[in-house]
Homo-oligomer: A and B are copies of this chain.
């Protein structure tokens, strides 16, 4: 493996004005390294095809002696799990849950993450060329393995994966049990539910229709609007969007429609249609073998999750050799992992390795 990596002190850290790579206790959470691992070793992919010049964008925060945890989220997640000091506080995808004093206390753990293969971040993806191959969750696991080797991390204390990240955690653990002590899997199962595949396959066809019509961003807006509705629960929408329609440009617009389309437009500004297609498909291709996972698994299921029914997580856990399930109730449905700080704090503090 031929590394052309560039370490960089986080811009945050520089902006914080400390000018030092090691800071005093209480501020160690801003000890943040980001890197790009570029390898000339080919990555053959599970469903065929390969990536010849693999790039992996990664980020590692926290004090050097702390337990090391990989945090992985949905297909729109990226290497910045939470914002370090001085960075835009909303720039981390898990900023309500991970950070100093939060459910996953960033001052007590080393937190590693990476941009997904096939996504819109620094890791290899469709932006590097047309016809990017289909990506398996096992391929993402292979990426993580290469990253651990590169960072000389022999064994992770835990992987905490939510949604797609939970699938990647399971795929990794099935292949490389000796490299991780424990999984915390939130709203993910051994395979996807056909109803959720239904919604995602319609989303992908909308995006492709947009691409074919010369308006890929319109397709992505609509697909994301649909996706947002599946991330939440009917209960939440009933309480938030009970208002009446208003007439705009001669047409009725409903409050929930307004919300979804705003989210869609925002998303289409930040993500690439081809990345969305790749990672959305990767969710539906996900299928691992629970019997083969010896690593202890703590699963968190959400009663109102439309995409990953709690019953599917229970079913997976009954096949995992070493697993137990926490079932929580949340009006945020599949998005509970982004929102339910208190419930997650209770589970993380009971299940994660203790810190000094």
Contact = CB atoms under 8 A, between A and B. Distances in A.
Interface stretch (A25-33, A91-99, A253-261, A321-329): A253-261
B222 A257 contact: no
A306 interface: yes
Interface stretch (A63-71, A148-156, A232-240, A266-274): A232-240
B201 A260 contact: yes
A252 B229 contact: no
Contact of A202 (B198, B225, B232): B225
Interface residues of A, number: 46
Given A202-B226, A234-B306, A309-B234, A194 B260 contact: no
A285 interface: yes
Main secondary structure of the interface of A (DSSP, over half): helix
A237 B193 contact: yes
Nearest to A242: B194
B205 A254 contact: no
Contacts of A85: none
Interface string A205-233: 11001100101001100100110010011
A197 interface: yes
A119 to B, nearest CB: 18
A198 B210 CA distance: 20
Contacts of A260: 198, 201-202
A195 interface: yes
A134 interface: yes
Contacts of A312: 238
A262 to B, nearest CB: 13
Interface of A: 47, 134, 193-195, 197-199, 201-202, 205-206, 209-210, 213, 215, 218-219, 222, 225-226, 229, 232-234, 237-238, 240-242, 244-245, 252, 254-257, 260-261, 281, 284-285, 287, 306, 309, 312
8 contacts: A197-B256, A197-B257, A201-B260, A205-B222, A209-B218, A209-B222, A226-B226, A245-B285
